[in-house]
Structure 1
């Protein structure tokens, strides 16, 4: 399954394009722009599993840095600061990674 099976390619392109500058990433705006906010809980979890590159059941800090590439392969990497901000927003239990339920909550709060 790919991102475009769940989200519109045009929405993905626009959302990724809106955050091309370093330190510009805003996960709340991004999730809204990409159309994730309007998706069912099942679809949000499917997106989570696409972003969980190592299939560990979690999106670790390193994977978070590449989150935009999960939506569009030629997107930029997040900066260390952006990655840490995203991790802090999503890691509700403080274990240093984001699980599927935490990801769903992160999207819902957007």
Structure 2
């Protein structure tokens, strides 16, 4: 499933452009700009499934590094610092990965 079937291509472009510079990524602002915060629970879950590249039921640190590419192929990789901060913000149970409920809570916070 393509992210553009869930979110507006214009919003995706705006969000990627807003965080094009390394170490500028802010998940709260990103989710707001891309329009994900306004989406239903089912739509947020669909986005999670796209980002869970290995279909493990979790977004692991390695997948998180490429999260922007999940929204559009021309998205940049997150830096190690951004990846660790994103994981720390989402991983409420401390297992080193983001489950679907943790992702949904992070989007809506």
- The two structures have a TM-score, normalised by structure 2, of 0.99
Q: Deviations over 1:33-80 (max 9, x none)?
A: 000000000100000000000000000000000000000101110000
Partner Cα separation in structure 1 for residue 74 and residue 11 of structure 2: 15
**Displacement of 1:2 after TM fit?**
1.0
Gaps of 5+ in 1: none
Name 2:19's counterpart in structure 1.
19
SS of 1:38's equivalent in the other structure is: coil
Question: How far apart, in 2, do the equivalents of 1:22 and 1:44 lie?
Answer: 25
| 1:44 counterpart residue number | 44
The number of residues matched between the two structures is: 109
CA distance in 2, matches of 1:72, 1:2: 9
Q: Cα RMSD between the aligned structures?
A: 0.4
